[in-house]
Structure 1
Amino acid sequence: MTWEELLSLKRFGDTNKRLRKEQDETRLGFEVDYDRIIFSSEFRSLQDKTQVVPLSKTDFTHTRLTHSLEVSVVGRSLGRSVGKKILEKHPHLQSDLGYQANDFGAILAAAALSHDIGNPPFGHSGEKAIGEYFISGQGQNYKAELTAKEYEDLCSFEGNANGFKILTQSREGREGGLRLSYATLGAFTKYPKESLPKKPTPHIADKKYGVFQSETDEFIAVAEELGLTNRSETDISYSRHPLAFLVEAADDICYTIIDFEDGINLGLIQEEFALEYLIKLVKDSINSEKYYQLTNTHDRISYLRALAIGRLINEAVEIFMDNEAAILSGDFGSSLLDKSKYDAQINDIIKISIDNIYQSTEVVDKEIAGYEIIKTLLDTYINAVNNCYNNTASNYDKLILKGFPETIKMDQDSLYDRLISVSHYVSLLSDSQAILSFKKIKGFSI
């Protein structure tokens, strides 16, 4: 892979090549990507989607929106730092083609901003709830009518693939979705493969998948434009865009440190215990005099959090540059932070977060409710759509369908397209919208 191709400014529908030297410096194409994402309705709905504690009304906890904004900020810093070093190492990118260090930051900021845009309501349990419906619920009845890959898309419903669908899906008046630059779409795609074969190798790019069967044409077009290395002769599987490693690192840094901070502020993790873990990570850079002047938990944690994020940003940049050649050849097979000298401290923090936050009673109770809500919505909507297609819709089905937006096509001949469209529609609901829809179906809102 080469940086010349990887930094492509091309967008869906372009007939002429976009050159970096011809860009308007007041509003670069990569910066337009950020604007289009942040003004999209799909991004705005993240303000009411779970990050750590489902349905929490506590001021301290992060939603998917605040988390995404923070990941974007970290991503921009990572991109600018790496961009500066890349241009020093490959000066022709700047002298001949016009790329600047801030271009890398803009790509990373946009890709990181959208990294969770495809997540369903109720966090990762929402993904699992959709999958469970097709594995063991009424959805399993459709297995015989689907290809193996189509069925796997539904059984392993993946927020990353759903995000690519949101960013690229054409509909009337919005051809090409948000029409982002292919460089940003490449950086967004952490798992550049289809759902099967499942985890064919231990390579980080094979951990999950990043494209539904419904978007394979768009995905291949992006991969070929960027010059991503094809990793399979029989299936859709490519090497990662190098900047996807930095998007992943930005996310890893934020959820490791900031979810931990949420747990402290919620009282799920004792302050003394938490300070010990964070101090292990940043002990070499603490200003003791300044630290001991801080008189409350919030200020002490904020200070340590800022140091920890800064430390991990520098570490990720160093690891990326040390392994740039292997990353460009597709031979680098782990996340950047897996190679960090602070790996033990990071894993200690993640372990206590799992034990005290992710598996807390409040989280588990709300996830149980989320499963029932999503199962009910899928069952009701899929039955209504299929009955409508088969001209057997009841009056109840017709009432249900009246609440659907016009963007949901109910007359698709392909069963897979109907099932993935309904699953996609449910995934776009915020936590509150999903609960309200559930109550309507159950007759609780009368």
Structure 2
Amino acid sequence: MTSEFSLFKPQMQYAPYACLAETSRGRLYLEKETVTRSPFQRDRDRIIHSSAFRRLKHKTQVFVYHEGDYYRTRLTHSIEVSQIARSIARVLGLNEEITEALSLVHDFGHTPFGHAGEEALDDLMKPHRGFDHNAQSLRIVTRLERRYGGFDGLNLTWETLEGLAKHNGPLCRDDDMSHIHINFLEYNREHDLELHTYASLEAQVAAIADDIAYNNHDIADGLRAELFTMDEICEVPLVAEIVREVRDTYGDLDERRFDHEIIRRLINRMVNDILTESSSRLTQLRPESVKDVRQAGRRMIAFSGEMKQTDRELKVFLMRNMYRHYKVCRMTSKAKRVVRDLFALYMEEPECLPEKWQERLTDLDEQDRARHIADFIAGMTDRYALMEHRRLFDISMFEL
């Protein structure tokens, strides 16, 4: 059944519960704002101009960079998330500027080699309070980026940092912060992000757009890599329904066009479902401000029960047929070994780190030294990590 939002005209004014730049809580370090850009536009621009954003070009999600130019990278994924998120935000009367900023920054903390790299680094960091890519994203934009004369980090607005920290929901209940990652805790002492509440609707939109993009574009990459066929993924009822629609409409299409038609229609179904379900929730809550959203006690931007089931079915299919495919597992195993080898060597022989990273090790205890080395490894691209591993472990290679 076609959703009413298929022909919905976007709202031209912000809803009362939108996140507005003029009511922003500002930045940790006071700066004079500009007349040409709103605070959230400046956040987006700082994100785009950061070195962490550029590195996303050579960080992959499932396939390592050398396996093909057509597969998604963290950079192309983030741009695709931004497009989906802005479309949803526009229809709901939300602020596209901060939605875009959050979509573009959400993957900054990812390691090389996707989730395989993160799993390896988290295991290595278990004695040192663990590793979490969301917490690392906050650490990058508040500490590790060093571009400005007056402060470390990008000095983003409170609303952008809050959305980055809590886009997947509250990090704690009330004042119990015992399980929160140290990166969140350290920054929160300086700049309280209210970790026990929900984030703005814009942050919730960015989070669910990430889910849509991740699932659908992994399907596209999996089909291109021939890890599974379209007939196989038709075990998911909604995919089977869309396949019938496309065949009824176009008959025989070449494989690439056919696959693209399926993916774009699946994304559209998910977006329309979110608009319908989220509008219903907002009508029930009737929030009058973004504060009401933060204190709502549940997500306002969400799939319907039926689409949530489809989302689960897609994830189960991809786990079984893609992420656990033997070809992917072989590369995953290699990737984890690269991360483990580099971490162990840097901990044992820190003089192998680049000079500027060696300098910052001065007077650090073991835990902070491990976090410093994790910062270095997490910031690597796939390509750099592989080259660094060759330089350090291939005894036939003596280049500096």
Match in the other structure for 1:410? 361
Match in the other structure for 2:307? 342
Is the 2:39–2:157 Cα contact (8 Å) retained in structure 1?
Answer: yes
Distance 1:81 1:334 in 2: 15
The more displaced of 349-358 and 158-167 is: 349-358
Query: Deviations along 1:333-381, whole A, 9 cap, x unmatched?
Result: 69723x4422232222222211111111121111111221111111121
Specify the code of the residue in structure 2 equivalent to 1:364.
C
Match in the other structure for 2:270? 312
Q: After TM superposition, give the deviation of residue 405 of structure 1 in Å.
A: 3.4
Matched residue of 2:124: which SS? Answer: helix
Query: Deviations along 1:250-292, whole A, 9 cap, x unmatched?
Result: 0110111111111111111212334674854764995766433
Structure 1 gaps, min length 5: 85-100, 141-150, 199-208, 232-237, 386-396
Q: After TM superposition, give the deviation of residue 329 of structure 1 in Å.
A: 1.8
Q: After TM superposition, give the deviation of residue 319 of structure 1 in Å.
A: 2.7
Task: Kindly report which structure 2 residues correspond to 1:180-329, keeping only aligned pairs within 5 A, or say none.
Answer: 180-189=156-165, 190=167, 192-193=170-171, 197-198=178-179, 212-214=181-183, 216-224=185-193, 228=194, 231=196, 238-274=197-233, 277=236, 280=239, 283=242, 286=245, 290-292=249-251, 295-324=253-282, 325=285, 327-329=293-295
Distance 1:111 1:172 in 2: 20
Is residue 85 of structure 2 the alignment partner of residue 75 of structure 1?
yes
Is residue 17 of structure 2 the alignment partner of residue 8 of structure 1?
no
Is the 1:79–1:106 Cα contact (8 Å) retained in structure 2?
Answer: no
User: Aligned residues, how many?
Assistant: 366
Query: Deviations along 1:183-204, whole A, 9 cap, x unmatched?
Result: 2222222355389644xxxxxx
Query: Deviations along 1:161-203, whole A, 9 cap, x unmatched?
Result: 00011111167653141222222222222355389644xxxxx
Is the 1:46–1:430 Cα contact (8 Å) retained in structure 2?
Answer: yes
Q: After TM superposition, give the deviation of residue 309 of structure 1 in Å.
A: 1.4
Task: Kindly report which structure 2 residues correspond to 1:29-44, keeping only aligned pairs within 5 A, or say none.
Answer: 29-44=39-54
Query: Deviations along 1:136-166, whole A, 9 cap, x unmatched?
Result: xxxx5xxxxxxxxxx32x2xx1000000111
Is the 1:68–1:112 Cα contact (8 Å) retained in structure 2?
Answer: yes
Structure 2 gaps, min length 5: 1-16, 286-291
Match in the other structure for 2:106? 115
Q: After TM superposition, give the deviation of residue 131 of structure 1 in Å.
A: 2.1
Match in the other structure for 2:337? 372
Distance 1:319 1:77 in 2: 15
Identical positions, percent: 22
Specify the code of the residue in structure 2 equivalent to 1:376.
D
Is residue 115 of structure 2 the alignment partner of residue 105 of structure 1?
no
TM-score normalized by the length of structure 1: 0.72
Q: After TM superposition, give the deviation of residue 246 of structure 1 in Å.
A: 1.4
Q: After TM superposition, give the deviation of residue 111 of structure 1 in Å.
A: 0.5
Alpha-carbon spacing, 1:274–1:4, altered in 2? closer, same or farther (3 Å): closer
Distance 1:279 1:241 in 2: 30
Distance 2:278 2:249 in 1: 32
Distance 1:260 1:284 in 2: 14
Query: Deviations along 1:80-113, whole A, 9 cap, x unmatched?
Result: 222x2xxxxxxxxxxxxxxxx5xx1111111011
Is the 1:79–1:107 Cα contact (8 Å) retained in structure 2?
Answer: no
Match in the other structure for 1:162? 136
Is the 1:120–1:428 Cα contact (8 Å) retained in structure 2?
Answer: yes
Matched residue of 1:10: which SS? Answer: coil
Task: Kindly report which structure 2 residues correspond to 1:12-161, keeping only aligned pairs within 5 A, or say none.
Answer: 12-14=28-30, 24=35, 27-82=37-92, 84=93, 101=94, 104-135=95-126, 140=127, 151-152=128-129, 154=130, 157-161=131-135
Alpha-carbon spacing, 1:408–1:53, altered in 2? closer, same or farther (3 Å): farther
Deviating above 6 A after TM superposition, structure 1's stretches of 4 or more consecutive aligned residues are none
Is the 1:51–1:64 Cα contact (8 Å) retained in structure 2?
Answer: yes
Is the 2:145–2:153 Cα contact (8 Å) retained in structure 1?
Answer: yes
User: Which of residues 304, 312, 328 in structure 2 aligns to 1:363?
Assistant: 328
Alpha-carbon spacing, 1:315–1:381, altered in 2? closer, same or farther (3 Å): same
Q: After TM superposition, give the deviation of residue 318 of structure 1 in Å.
A: 3.0
Is the 1:54–1:367 Cα contact (8 Å) retained in structure 2?
Answer: no
Distance 1:355 1:4 in 2: 39
Distance 2:54 2:320 in 1: 31
User: Which of residues 374, 378, 399 in structure 2 aligns to 1:427?
Assistant: 378
Distance 1:79 1:297 in 2: 33
CA RMSD, Structure 1 to Structure 2 (Å): 3.2
Specify the code of the residue in structure 1 equivalent to 2:103.
A
